[in-house]
A and B are shown apart, each in its own frame.
Chain A
Amino acid sequence: AQSVTQLGSHVSVSEGALVLLRCNYSSSVPPYLFWYVQYPNQGLQLLLKYTSAATLVKGINGFEAEFKKSETSFHLTKPSAHMSDAAEYFCAVSRIYGNNRLAFGKGNQVVVIP
């Protein structure tokens, strides 16, 4: 079975400060890893994905994440937070082959303080 762990349900960050959201995964097979963003009353939008190519992945809106197999981590960062980054962020894992079902973490609610 695959799973991800996201610690700290609410994350507060000052505008202009570093955004760091942590994600650790558990998988018995090589994983694909994803970060999704969800704005209020909306569905999920893909921020970025790791699909066994480059370990440092760049996504939309200035976000990036680094796959570290030794640490089973896929942390999300953004150098400078904007007010528009206030949203809920989910890390997810799936298998490379077969059913591409996603297993999500519980999410991080990001609050940006002006």
Chain B
Amino acid sequence: ETGVTQSPTHLIKTRGQQVTLRCSSQSGHNTVSWYQQALGQGPQFIFQYYREEENGRGNFPPRFSGLQFPNYSSELNVNALELDDSALYLCASSFSEGSYNEQFFGPGTRLTVL
């Protein structure tokens, strides 16, 4: 069974640029959640996708957007990058049927904005 994978591992961008981060769900999972973890902080929920539709969003501006594809992989897009967007971005997948849906996390993408 393949776990959650994310790409790239690291990347460096400059302020104002756009970035796309990618996540492949664990086999059999239909839900992907994205989290932002700033240095020294706990992860913050960005949004979740369930069967290709957004299913909840945290307190992040519209320049943070996402997609989920028919194979349940996902992308996180951030436009007009700001210095404060520098963080570890974590993707988590789960199978959302029934009352309890454990999330399995990928290793993250470290984004540095200069």
Contact = CB atoms under 8 A, between A and B. Distances in A.
B28 interface: no
Contacts of A92: 42
B90 A43 contact: yes
A46 B100 CA distance: 14
Chain A's interface size range is 20 to 34
Given A96-B99, A102-B45, A103-B45, A43 B94 contact: no
A101 B42 contact: no
A101 B106 contact: no
Interface residues of B, number: 28
B72 to A, nearest CB: 15
Interface SS, A side: loop
B58 interface: yes
Contacts, number: 61
Given A44-B43, A44-B105, A104-B42, 5 more contacts: A44-B90, A44-B92, A99-B48, A99-B55, A100-B100
Interface of B: 4, 31, 33, 35, 40-45, 48, 55-56, 58, 90, 92, 94, 96, 99-108
A100 B42 contact: no
26 contacts: A9-B40, A36-B105, A43-B90, A43-B105, A44-B90, A44-B92, A44-B105, A46-B104, A51-B100, A97-B99, A99-B55, A99-B56, A100-B33, A100-B48, A100-B94, A100-B100, A102-B35, A103-B45, A104-B42, A104-B44, A105-B42, A106-B40, A106-B41, A107-B40, A107-B41, A107-B42
Given A43-B108, A44-B90, A100 B103 contact: yes
B102 to A, nearest CB: 7
Contact of B58 (A44, A97, A101): A101
Nearest to A36: B105
B100 A102 contact: no
Given A43-B106, A96-B100, A101-B33, A106 B90 contact: no
